Structure 1
Amino acid sequence: MEELNSTFLYCDQLVRDFEKVIETPVVNKSSVYYTGVDLGTAYIVLAVLDENYQPVAGAYRFASVVKDGMVVDYIGAIRIVKELKQEIEEKLGTELIYAAAALPPGTDSLDSGAIKNVVQAAGFEITNVLDEPTAANAVLKIKDGAIVDIGGGTTGIAILQDGKVIYVADEPTGGTHFSLVIAGAYGMPFEEADVYKRDAKNHRELQPIVRPVIEKVSSIISRHVRDYPAKEIYLVGGTCCLAGIEDVIAKQTGLPTYKPENPMFVTPLGIALSCTQEEL
C-alpha cells in the first residue's frame, strides 16, 4: 500500500501541475518542448512539457472526431489539433515542433497511420506512436497489474509484469455507452446526457442508472485478466472520473481497483513523456 501511495503521489502531483499550466502557462524559455496529442472520443487533449519533462502548457476541447478508437472525421481532427497547437504557441511565444500520439491497444494496424497523419498535418513532427495504456504507465509507473483506460468509446487493457506489457486488448464500451443509457433513462438528447454525466454533482444520482454499463466494463476486464497474473487494477481515462466507478469494478472483478485524482489527464501526460526529438 505504501508503494501504491507513492505511485499516486507522483501521478497526482503531475496532473495537478498540468491543470495549473492549462490555466497559467509557464512561459520561461525551454530549449525544446515535447507535446502529447491525445485524440479521444470525447476530448482532444494537448499536453506540453519542457526540456526537463515538466508541464508548461496544455489545452483540450470536446470533440466527436473519433469513434470507438478510430478517426472518423479526419479533417475535423486536423483542424482541432492545429487550433489547440496555435493556441498554446501564442501563449508560450514559441513554435511546438515535436509530438507523440497514442491509440487504443491492438488497433495499430488499423488506425496508427490516420493518427500519425492527423498530427503531422496539424504541423508537428511526430516522434512516437504508442498504445494508450502504455502511455499511461509512463505516469503511473506500475510494475505489475492491469491498467484499464476507459475512454469515450473503448475500454483498453494492458497487463504488466515486471514493468513490461505482456498483453493488450481493446473493446468498444466506454463513456458513449454511459451517455446513451442516461439519455434513455431521462428522455433527453444524447448531447445533453453527455454534459449531465460530466457534472460531478450528478454522479451519486447517476450511479444506479449507469451501474449496468460499469458491470459490462467489469466483465470485459475480468475476461481479459483471468489468464494473467494481474492482482490489481489501475483506472485511467475520462470516463473513470465518474465517482464510485472503481468500487463497482473492484466488487465485480474481485480485484483491488484504484484510480488517481483526475484520471482524464494521465494518458495525455504519458504520451508527452514518451515524446523525443527523433522523428519517426
Structure 2
Amino acid sequence: MTTDKTLLQFAGLVRFRSAVPSDERAPGALKVGVDLGTANLVLAVVDADNRPVAGITHRSSVVRDGIVVDYMGAVQAVRAMKAELEQRVGVPLQRAAAAIPPGIHPGSAKAIGNVVEAADFELVEVVDEPTAAARFLDIRDGAVVDVGGGTTGISVLRDGDVVASFDEATGGTHMTLVLAGARRIPFAEAEAEKLDPDNERDVFAIVRPVVDKMASIVSGVLDSHPEVAVIHVVGGACSFSDFTTVFANQIGRRVLKPAEPLLVTPLGIAMYPNEAGA
C-alpha cells in the first residue's frame, strides 16, 4: 500500500471514528503514537506490521511549541482519547511513543514523556517529529519539514541517518495571528476562518508572508546541504494547495506533500520498532 493510500485509510478511521476489525488482538500487541501538537493532539494506533488500526484527533492548546503549558489538561485529554480508542479496538492500549520538535530543551522533552506515562501508557520512545515523519514516508535521503502549529522543524537525512536538524518557532499559529490582524477579528474567529476550505484562496493570500518566512528558514538550513534534491513537507499548517508551489519557487528544489499531511507524523511515531523499550 502506498503512503498516500495508507494516509487516506487512516484519515477515514479518524473521521468516521472506526477501527479496522481483527480477531488477533492480544493486549499490548497494538502500538500507539502520541503527537502532542500546538493546535492538535493526535493518537495513531497501528498493528505489529505498522498498518493503521484506529486514530483520533482533538483540537487543543495544552502544548505550545513543544512545551507543555497545561500539564493536567494534556494528561486528561490523552487519557480520554486513549479510552475512546480502547473502546473502538476492544483491547487495552499499553505501549506508546511520543515526539518532540528538533532541538527542544531536555526538560520539555521529559514533560512530553511524562504526559504519556501519566495517561497510563508505557513510554517506549521519544523521537523528533521530522524523523518520525521520515519513518512513515520511508525516506532515507533528503529533507523532511514538519510545519506544525507552533514550529517548523527540519531534518536532513543521509542513508537513513539524521545528519542535521533545526527548529524555528514559526507555524500555523503565526498564520492565524497574521490573519486575525489583517481581518481585525479575534484569534478564535481567525482560526476558524483559516480552517474553512471555502476560504482557502483568500486566507492564503494573507498568510503567504508566513509561508515565505518558513521557506526562507528551510532554504537557509539547506544552503549547507546542496545534495538535498527533494523536500518532503508534512504537518497541518502546510495543507494549503499552493503551499508546495511557494516553497519550491523560493527554495529552488522539488517539494512533495503527501495526502493528509497532518497525519503523517503521528503514524510515524507509532511505527517504532517492535522491540523498542524492551
Q: Using the alignment, how far apart are the partners of 1:188 and 1:211 within structure 2?
A: 18
- Please name the residue that 1:68 is paired with: 65
Mark the runs of 5 or more structure 2 residues left unpaired by the alignment.
Answer: none
User: Is 1:19 matched up with 2:11?
Assistant: yes
Task: Map 1:95-174; keep pairs closer than 5 Å.
Answer: 95-107=92-104, 109-174=106-171
CA drift of 1:204 comes to 1.1
Contact 1:133/1:267 (<8 A) preserved = yes
TM-score by length of 1: 0.93
With 185-194 and 121-130 compared, the bigger mean Cα shift is at 185-194
- Please name the residue that 2:254 is paired with: 256
CA RMSD of aligned residues (A): 1.4
AA aligned to 1:129 is: V
Task: Map 1:37-76; keep pairs closer than 5 Å.
Answer: 37-76=34-73
User: Is 1:206 matched up with 2:198?
Assistant: no
User: Is 1:91 matched up with 2:88?
Assistant: yes
| Identity rate, percent | 46
Q: Using the alignment, how far apart are the partners of 1:50 and 1:169 within structure 2?
A: 31
CA drift of 1:27 comes to 3.4
* Residues 131-172 of structure 1, C-alpha deviations (whole Å, 9 max, x = no match): 000000111112221100000000000001122210011010
1:251 match: secondary structure: helix
Instruction: Tell me the number of residue pairs that the alignment of Structure 1 and Structure 2 aligns.
Output: 272
User: Is 1:194 matched up with 2:191?
Assistant: yes
Q: Using the alignment, how far apart are the partners of 2:156 and 2:277 within structure 1?
A: 28
Contact 1:49/1:56 (<8 A) preserved = yes
TM-score by length of 2: 0.94
Q: Using the alignment, how far apart are the partners of 1:154 and 1:51 within structure 2?
A: 31
- Please name the residue that 2:33 is paired with: 36
Mark the runs of 5 or more structure 1 residues left unpaired by the alignment.
Answer: 1-8
* Residues 90-117 of structure 1, C-alpha deviations (whole Å, 9 max, x = no match): 1222110010000001115242110110
Q: Using the alignment, how far apart are the partners of 1:61 and 1:231 within structure 2?
A: 35
Q: Using the alignment, how far apart are the partners of 1:110 and 1:244 within structure 2?
A: 37
- Please name the residue that 1:184 is paired with: 181
Q: Using the alignment, how far apart are the partners of 2:175 and 2:274 within structure 1?
A: 36
With 106-115 and 204-213 compared, the bigger mean Cα shift is at 106-115
CA drift of 1:51 comes to 2.6
Contact 1:105/1:169 (<8 A) preserved = yes
Contact 2:98/2:125 (<8 A) preserved = yes
- Please name the residue that 2:230 is paired with: 232
Q: Using the alignment, how far apart are the partners of 1:277 and 1:161 within structure 2?
A: 24
Contact 2:48/2:274 (<8 A) preserved = no
